[in-house]
Amino acid sequence: MPRASAKTAPPAPPSARQRRKEARPQELLEAALSLFVEKGFAATRSEEVAARAGVSKGTLYLYYPSKEELFKAVVRESLGAKIAEGVAELGKHQGSMAELLTWMLWSWWERLGLTPAGGIHKIMMSEAGNFPELAAFYTTEVIEPSCALLAEVVQRGIASGEFRDVDPDATVMVLIGPVLHLVLHQHSIGAAGVEHAHKPTPEQVLGLQLELMFEGLLNRPRDPATGRPPA
């Protein structure tokens, strides 16, 4: 009589303890981002991060052996991943480069400027001089790839004839200046709840920034006398 074939039992669901362990790195990064933005890098202590995440200091060091490594992980998670998404979008984008630039600027404001991740830029502006190794890391991981991404978008627009023949790197500085200003304000004076009476909304500023930017960037016929596109 043939033996009945043994059925493989379905894997047991992970225990609550196992799920907690798998989620712990993300919990630590969230706690660290929150404290870094609240207090700055120098003033944040590792034990505070551990306490906010609900773990011991020893557990924190198991995942991130120093406060510097923890900060780098926060930057990679919060900013590096967003830059990678932009690179992926550029690779598959089929529309105009003006559309892509518009999406990038609005997306970065909504997903960085309006979130705690935007506070990382304020930290670097205020503390980079005291932590040159972190400043070099931030330059390599954030500034250089994000500028290269935007410059590539501009360069492709120039190559297709959509944009005027401008310096891509200088154009990037013009593009990101207002966004960075809004981000810094959001996480400094804005965070203090102090605003002047006639301050426009960030949405108004970004909308006008895009309008003015494309007024000068799009490759359209220009009046020889003024150098401007005809009205």
Residue 144 in this model has a pLDDT that exceeds 60: yes
The reported pTM is 0.81
DSSP state of 7: P
Residues 158-182, mean pLDDT to the nearest whole number:
93
pLDDT at 12: 47
Q: How confident is the model at residue 15 (pLDDT cuts 50, 70, 90)?
A: very low
- Rounded to an integer, what distance in angstroms lies between the CA atom of residue 34 and that of residue 49? 9
At 227, is the pLDDT very low, low, confident or very high (cuts 50, 70, 90)? low
pLDDT > 70 fraction of the chain, expressed in percent and rounded: 85
Structure tokens given for 56: 């011991």
10 has pLDDT over 60? no
As a whole number, mean pLDDT of residues 32-36 equals 97
Which tokens sit at 146? 């994000």
Q: Which CATH superfamily includes the segment(s) 72-217?
A: Tetracycline Repressor, domain 2 (1.10.357.10)
3-state secondary structure 86-132: HHHHHHHCCCCHHHHHHHHHHHHHHHHHCCHHHHHHHHHHHHHHHCH
Q: Residue 193: left if φ>0, alpha if ψ -120 to 50, beta else—which one?
A: left
CA distances from 193 to 38, 63, 123, 190 (A): 14, 36, 19, 5
Average pLDDT of span 88-98: 93
Q: What ranges do the domains of the chain cover?
A: 14-65, 72-217
Task: Please check the confidence at residue 46 and state whether its pLDDT lies above 70.
Answer: yes
Closest CA relative to residue 108, chosen from 179, 34, 205, 156: 179
**197 pLDDT exceeds 80?**
no
Q: DSSP for 121-189?
A: HHHHHHHGGG-HHHHHHHIIIIIHHHHHHHHHHHHHHHHHTSB-S--HHHHHHHHHHHHHHHHHHHTTT
Whether residue 157 is predicted with pLDDT greater than 90 in this model: the reply is: yes
Nearest to 160 by CA among 107, 98, 69: 98
User: Which pLDDT tens digit goes with each residue over 67-77?
Assistant: 999 999 999 99
User: For position 16, what pLDDT does the model report?
Assistant: 44
Other beta carbons less than 10 A from residue 21's beta carbon: 12
Whether the pLDDT of residue 129 is over 90: the answer is yes
Per CATH, the number for 14-65 is 1.10.10.60
3 state SS of 218:
strand
Of how many residues is the chain composed?
Answer: 231
Residue keyed to tokens 């207090």: 39
Q: What is the mean pLDDT of the chain?
A: 86
Tokens describing residue 221: 């016929």
